[in-house]
Every structure is written in structure tokens, then in C-alpha cells.
Amino acid sequence: MFFLKKKEIPLTELFTDTFVDIHSHLLPGIDDGAKDLNHSVELIRKMSSYGIKNFITTPHVLGDVYPNSSSLIKEKLKEVQQALINNGLNDINISAAAEYMMDEQFVALLKNDDILTLKDNFILVEMSYFNAPFNLYDILFEIQLKGYKPVLAHPERYNFYHNNFESYYKLKKAGCLFQLNLLSLTEQYGKGVKKTADKLLKNNLYDFVGTDTHHHNHLKLLKSLGTVKVKKNIDKLIGNNSKFKQ
């Protein structure tokens, strides 16, 4: 039996000059991403070698676990921007927003308009992997009432929706945009997540993509996406991300 080898391409063909990675954890020491400033620079340098030059990095804002304020995020961003200059990485464009857990604390931030957007009025939001908030649709309504557009991070990773695919259409109808984690196209998060990601792609339910990079292991896995098939499947989404270019 013969197996056809996947036709590989360099990641620089996948990630265009205008591509913006809208989901990553590259600010030092404030969540489960980059551990320190050197780690931040190393991750960005590696991603730059893949062709990714534009970043809107998104540290977690998650209750008492990662209670990151907007001012702290901006402060850490400045540290990274200066470190990149110091290391000669002058072709990198990096700004910061946040990945907001849709919980009570987020609702309070929303009421106070204390929100860091990806660009314009787009907000990156997430849910618990165990269950959706009981008032999920109320929160989505409040987000839009405030004039924002919710971008749901990695919808394929919410296992409680895997056997209820109609829920994804309900979320879209409620005004939710979907961001695919690129590593969900590998088996990084399990076969169930990959299968759901493939189905969401097939049904054209995604709007954007993101790497959700936390560490070097993620970047090693990212290399496996350099194939003609993957490029064909996500080319449109890669193009969509260009709207976030500063």
C-alpha cells in the first residue's frame, strides 16, 4: 500500500506579509504564556522566521487567576516593544488586547468600558472548557449593546458543543464571530477537537485564525501546518486577519 506524502510548503507561504496573529500569549509573566522577557523575544523571533510579523497579543483576563488590568497589559507591551528594538527585531509590529473570560468580572469591565479591543470594536472572548456560562447569550447581547463585536476564541475546543453542532449556528446567529486555533488542525488538543475544527471549516463558520502561542512546543507543532492542503483550507481566513493590521 502506498501513502501519498503531504505536499509541504514553507510557513512563509502560509503567512502573508499582511497577516496579523490576533491570539497569542507573548507578554512576560502575566499568564500561562511567556515566562519572562527573554522568552517573549525568543517566541516572537521564531514566529518571525515563519513569516508572522504582525501581532495583537492577548493575555488572559480571567477572574482571580489572571486578574490582568488594562494598564498592566499596556505596561508589559511597552517592555516587549523595547526589548524587540534592543534585539534588532525592528520589522515586528506588536500591540496588545486581551482574551476575556466571559464571567462576572468581564461584565463589570464591559459596563465600565474598560476593554482592550483587537482593533476598532472587536473583542476576543472565551468560555470555560467545562461548560458555557448560564447567561452566555445575555453577555453576548450586552457586548453588542455596547457597540462591540465578540470574537469567540477556539470554538472547536468547547467539547460540550461537539455533539450539539447546531449550537455553533446559534452562536453565529447571536452575533458571535469565530476564531480558529491553528493548532486545532493538528491533534494538539485531541481528535475530537480536530474533527470539530475540520467540520467548522467545511461549513464556513470561521471568520479568523490565531496561533494561540504560549510556548516553543506550540511553535514546533505549528510547522506541521505547512502543507498545500492546509493553505487551501485557511487561505481566506488568513486574508480576513489582514483587517487587523495597524
pLDDT, tens digit (0-9, with 9 covering 90-100), for 189-239: 999 999 999 999 999 999 999 999 999 999 999 999 999 999 999 999 999
Q: Is the pLDDT of residue 3 over 80?
A: no
- 19 or 1, which is more confident? 19
**Total Cβ atoms within 10 A of residue 240:** 19
Residue 88 vs residues 48, 85, 99, 215, 223: alpha-carbon distances, Å: 12, 5, 28, 21, 24
What's the grid cell of residue 75? 505596561
Give the Cα-Cα-Cα angle 162, 15, 54 (nearest 5 degrees): 100
Number of Cβ atoms within 10 Å of the Cβ of 101: 20
Q: Are 113 and 139 in contact (CB under 8 A)?
A: no
* pTM score, whole prediction: 0.96
The answer to whether residues 61 and 67 touch, using CB atoms and an 8 Å cutoff, is yes
What's the pLDDT tens digit per position in 116-174? Answer: 999 999 999 999 999 999 999 999 999 999 999 999 999 999 999 999 999 999 999 99
Domains, the chain, ordered by start: 11-244 (3.20.20.140)
Give the separation between CA 238 and CA 12, rounded to whole angstroms. 12
Distances (CA, A) of 201 to 32, 116, 154: 28, 28, 12
